[in-house]
Amino acid sequence: MNPKLEEISLQRKRAHTKLLANSSKIYDCFLTMERLAYADGALSRKHKELIGLGIAVAQDCESAMQWHVEQARIAGASFEELLETIEVAIEMGGGPAVVASRFALEVMESIGVKPSR
């Protein structure tokens, strides 16, 4: 894995562990909200992860881009679905989203997501 991506994952895990160790009630509520928000419903978990990715690209949040690319892939998203999500985020976010999309594409490459064609 790319060293930058490894560091982002480590930072996310360290923060998660610290918040749990400190019995953060707000973080506990956030985890419950996250679990419920991404559960299959009228939209599948895969589609919800793709929505999360689009928002992460538009907001230029590298940690969220990495997380949602990985989670969408686990939920069955294809290269094409990930790419189209990034493209919609570019349209919504303009030039800054184009710059942010480079990171999401790097994450896809680092976890081996390739076109199915």
Give 5-44 pLDDT, tens digit per residue: 899 999 999 999 999 999 999 999 999 999 999 999 999 9
Taking the C-alpha atoms of residue 37 and residue 28, their distance in angstroms, rounded to an integer, is 14
CATH of domain 3-110: 1.20.1290.10
Q: What is the pLDDT of residue 117?
A: 78
| Rounded percentage of the chain residues whose pLDDT exceeds 70 | 99
- Show contacts of 94-101: CB within 8 Å, 24+ apart: 96/60, 97/57, 97/58, 97/60, 99/60, 100/56, 100/57, 100/58, 100/59, 100/60, 100/62, 100/65, 101/57
pTM: 0.87
- Look-up of token digits 């892939």: 73
Q: Where are the domains of the chain?
A: 3-110
